[in-house]
Amino acid sequence: IRVDRFKEDNPDNLEALCCALESKVPWQKDIIPEIATTILRCRSGECNRGSRVKQETWLAFLGADHDGKHKLARETAKLVFGAQTSSFKSIGLSSFSTSTRADSSE
């Protein structure tokens, strides 16, 4: 898959991106089309920020499936931006918390 391919929001790119992500994280296939659509809209310039068009895309994956979120983020970076796994950075907010999951409802 060419890195510059995902700069247009079209059905072919949506299908290719969804298929590639679903092959790595099949148990998250229900949310993948929404993620892929958001990425394509931002990369194609549909999501303007003020008067500037930016192709950068920031995503926050929320939920308890740490492994799924990490795999999905890593594969997205690789497919869309050509990021090598050695340059991938992940920030797990749970590592900054001192409370346990049971304490988080208080």
More confident residue, 76 or 100: 76
Question: What would the DSSP string read from start to end of 29-97?
Answer: TTTHHHHHHHHHHHHTT-S-BTTB----------SS-HHHHHHHHHHHHHHHH---GGG-----GGGG-
pLDDT at 105 > cutoff 50:
no
pLDDT at 100 > cutoff 70:
no
What is the pTM for the complete model shown? 0.71
pLDDT, one tens digit per residue, over 34-93 is: 999 988 888 887 776 666 666 666 788 888 888 898 899 888 888 887 766 666 666 766
